[in-house]
Amino acid sequence: MAQSLENKVAVVYGGAGSLGAGVARAYAAAGARVFLAGRTEETLRRAAAETGAEYDVLDARDEHAVEAHATSVVERAGRLDVSFNLVPRGDLQGVPLTEMSVEDYTRPVVQGLACQFVTARAAARRMSAQGSGVILALNSGSANGTPMLGGTGAADGALDALIRQLAQEAGPAGVRVCGIWTAGVVDTLTPEKLTAAGAPAADEAAVNGIRAHLDGLRMTKRSPRIADIAALATFLASDAGVAITGTWVNATAGMFPS
């Protein structure tokens, strides 16, 4: 069965980021009409021009705005077939739990889960009404516990549970819900992103060292790249992935077995 998204309509939240733009590009190449959603118009416009997608300025944490946007997508495109939330959630890493504030630990859990819930709920409502659709999520797969990742493990665990529960509830209406574990996508790493996540200031050489370290932790000694995750997201969103729901695909290249 071909990985075609012909006549499908997809929304990528956080679509201006490097991974979101990569997924949007793959979706468009597979035939989908793609809408990027994010808070910053300048970066959205650039990503849309690069990927052939349309874009809407939207705060995915605002449930009323998300509901209105989902309605708008259906009005403009006739349906909503794929929803993928890649919005950053404010993880802070590299700080021991004993030295971390409550706010820094809970922010990715509360903010990240709320954002995922809001977009998944909006999609599930519309997909259930039309009898089909796919809701996707992505995290690092850190729910089993990894030191020095702050609230990332707790946030991942909460999202893991949300995806599995929503799949059970929305499945009878023809909606599939699943996620992708990556444990880091190395070509999304930049000095700016690492600093924002709490790492010491780094130059490109230091980032390359981190990438090499991550490669070394994989069974295959090669970390996933944007193109790898985009191809997997296209498969899961297509009819070729029709039997996959209620689970997380381990795309960590063997960072851990599952």
- Mark whether 191 and 175 lie in a shared domain: no
Residue position matching structure tokens 């924002």: 196
Residue position matching structure tokens 């390359």: 208
Among the listed residues 218, 181, 211, the one whose alpha carbon sits nearest the alpha carbon of residue 194: 211
- Mark whether 238 and 143 lie in a shared domain: yes
| Residue 3 is assigned to a structural domain of this protein | no
- Mark whether 125 and 192 lie in a shared domain: no
Give the per-residue pLDDT at 89. Answer: 94
What residues form DSSP beta bridges with 176?
134
| Residue 83 is assigned to a structural domain of this protein | yes
- Mark whether 120 and 216 lie in a shared domain: no
DSSP 11-45: EEETTTSHHHHHHHHHHHHTT-EEEEEES-HHHHH
Whether the predicted model's global pTM rises above the 0.85 cut:
yes
| Residue 70 is assigned to a structural domain of this protein | yes
Edge-to-edge strands, sheet with 54-57: 54-57, 33-38, 9-13, 82-85, 133-139, 175-181, 248-250
pLDDT tens per residue across span 71-99: 999 999 999 999 999 999 999 999 999 99
pLDDT at position 193 over 80 = no
| Residue 1 is assigned to a structural domain of this protein | no
Instruction: Take residue 4 and report the two structure tokens written for it.
Output: 């075609």
3-state helix, strand, coil in the chain (%, to 5): 50, 15, 35
Of 249 and 144, the structure prediction assigns the larger pLDDT to: 249
- Mark whether 80 and 122 lie in a shared domain: yes
Count of domains for the chain: 2
CA–CA distance, 159 with 6 (Å, rounded to integer): 29
Least confident of 19-33, 77-91, 199-213: 199-213
Of 198 and 148, the structure prediction assigns the larger pLDDT to: 148
- Mark whether 197 and 87 lie in a shared domain: no
- Mark whether 218 and 245 lie in a shared domain: no
| Residue 257 is assigned to a structural domain of this protein | no
Q: At 36, which CATH number?
A: 3.40.50.720
Instruction: Take residue 146 and report the two structure tokens written for it.
Output: 């990894």
Give the per-residue pLDDT at 196. Answer: 61
**150 — alpha (psi -120 to 50), left (phi > 0) or beta?**
left
**Which three-class secondary structure state does DSSP give residue 243?**
coil
- Mark whether 240 and 148 lie in a shared domain: yes
Give the per-residue pLDDT at 204. Answer: 81
- Mark whether 242 and 138 lie in a shared domain: yes
- Mark whether 88 and 207 lie in a shared domain: no
What single-letter amino acid sits at 168?
Answer: Q
pLDDT at position 202 over 80 = no
| Residue 132 is assigned to a structural domain of this protein | yes
- Mark whether 196 and 132 lie in a shared domain: no
Give the per-residue pLDDT at 37. Answer: 98
Give the ranges where 81-225 is alpha helix by DSSP (H): 102-130, 152-170, 191-196, 204-217
- Mark whether 127 and 100 lie in a shared domain: yes
Among the listed residues 1, 80, 75, the one whose alpha carbon sits nearest the alpha carbon of residue 34: 80
CB atoms within 10 A of CB 2: 10
| Residue 204 is assigned to a structural domain of this protein | yes
pLDDT at position 122 over 90 = yes
DSSP label of 156: H
| Residue 126 is assigned to a structural domain of this protein | yes
Domain span including residue 205: 186-223
Mean per-residue pLDDT over the chain, rounded: 94
Taking the alpha carbons of 30, 34, 37, 43 in that order, is the dihedral positive or negative? Answer: positive
Among the listed residues 155, 163, 62, the one whose alpha carbon sits nearest the alpha carbon of residue 106: 155
pLDDT at position 38 over 90 = yes
Q: Which whole-number Å values give the CA distances from 142 to 55, 152, 157, 192, 255, in the listed order? A: 31, 7, 7, 22, 10
- Report angle CA 166, 168, 173 to the nearest 5 degrees: 90
Parallel, antiparallel, or unpaired: how do β-strands 33-38 and 9-13 relate? parallel
